[in-house]
Amino acid sequence: MIRASNLTRTFKTKAGPVEAVRGLSLEVEEGELVAFLGPNGAGKSTSVRMLTTLLPLTSGQAIIGGHDVARNPVAVRQLIGYVGQGTGSGPYHRVRDELITQGRAYRMSYADARMRADELLAVLELEDQADRDCATLSGGQKRRLDVALGLMHTPKILFLDEPSTGLDPHSRANLWEHIIRLRQQTGMTIFLTTHYLDEADNMAERVMIMDHGKMIADDVPEKLKADLAGDQIRLSFQSEQDAGSAAEQARSLPTARDVTQEGIRLILTVNKGESLLPGLIHNLHKSGLEVQTANVQRPTLDDVFLSLTGRSLRESAELPA
């Protein structure tokens, strides 16, 4: 559905060229929900804008639904919906009218546009707001309207650029409920960029991580976490000496990637921590080492980014509170 090979985009600025995207290749199949993650300035928006025909490519090729974005942008635009970072609605227009105007821009008849607008108002639970000015909507309602605007022409692929940034947790969850329901109903392909690691982790079937204009990881979240980060088993002992002896024993485990001792505490980075823990405690007990406390921490996508780049995505993304 989406295929990009070797995409680059260089901006000319007074301070010199900025290589925002440096050889990006990716593939997204029909019906997939893919999240594009990366810190500020990684090149996510620039990539999405190229894929959606909004920005010319410096080099490379992008094919969307069989159409080349550079050669046949009109056909691509018919296939895709794009919801950008800023709100797309005019403040003094009524919500339903705004949707109808959008439909008319896609050459729908007034009757069809009106019907589709009412359908989307229902799906996105904006019926009660239909006759209100867009300016009076809450942040969450505005974002839902933006999504509805992007869906007026029934696109096969929806691009969402940071759809939930700035929304409170309740509105984020609500927006996601709507997006997931829409997807279940239509089987739409969804490509989104986000700063929210939990959102990418929970919602997306596949996560692509971008850094400095390049793709540095592309896989299902569970696999990225297992392969690149691993679980952390945290144990504590009665004495530093016991922790030291346990560390020695733990280092001989074939699946232990890292063993760190901090006083009476031991941190093991391993594969499949939960299934390893009971046997580990049993073996330590047999050696006369009593574990006082034990827990397993599952990795996050931030741990994946950290293991790939040595930086925390959370910090470099300057997340909103």
Residue ranges in contact with ligand ATP by CB under 6 A:
11, 13, 18, 20, 38, 40-46
C-beta of 34: minimal distance to ligand ATP in Å?
Answer: 15
C-beta of 135: minimal distance to ligand ATP in Å?
Answer: 25
User: In this complex, which beta carbon is closest to ligand ATP, that of residue 24 or of residue 117?
Assistant: 24
User: In this complex, which beta carbon is closest to ligand ATP, that of residue 8 or of residue 174?
Assistant: 8
The values of phi and psi at residue 129, to 5°, are -100, 0
C-beta of 44: minimal distance to ligand ATP in Å?
Answer: 4
Say how many residues make up the chain.
Answer: 321
Distance CA 34, CA 53 (A): 19
Q: Which amino acid is at 269?
A: T
3-state secondary structure of 227: helix
Identify which of 122, 146, 142, 123 has the alpha carbon closest to the alpha carbon of residue 133: 142
C-beta of 176: minimal distance to ligand ATP in Å?
Answer: 19
User: In this complex, which beta carbon is closest to ligand ATP, that of residue 212 or of residue 298?
Assistant: 212
User: In this complex, which beta carbon is closest to ligand ATP, that of residue 13 or of residue 184?
Assistant: 13
Identify which of 157, 137, 119, 139 has the alpha carbon closest to the alpha carbon of residue 1: 157
C-beta of 173: minimal distance to ligand ATP in Å?
Answer: 21
For residues 145 and 91, the answer to whether their CB atoms sit within 8 Å is no
C-beta of 207: minimal distance to ligand ATP in Å?
Answer: 15
Q: Are strands 265-270 and 256-262 parallel, antiparallel or unpaired?
A: antiparallel
User: In this complex, which beta carbon is closest to ligand ATP, that of residue 7 or of residue 228?
Assistant: 7
The values of phi and psi at residue 269, to 5°, are -100, 120
The values of phi and psi at residue 164, to 5°, are -110, 5
User: In this complex, which beta carbon is closest to ligand ATP, that of residue 159 or of residue 237?
Assistant: 159
How many Cα atoms within 13 Å fall on the side-chain side of residue 124? Answer: 28
C-beta of 165: minimal distance to ligand ATP in Å?
Answer: 9
Identify which of 233, 225, 232 has the alpha carbon closest to the alpha carbon of residue 306: 225
For residues 272 and 315, the answer to whether their CB atoms sit within 8 Å is no
User: In this complex, which beta carbon is closest to ligand ATP, that of residue 38 or of residue 81?
Assistant: 38
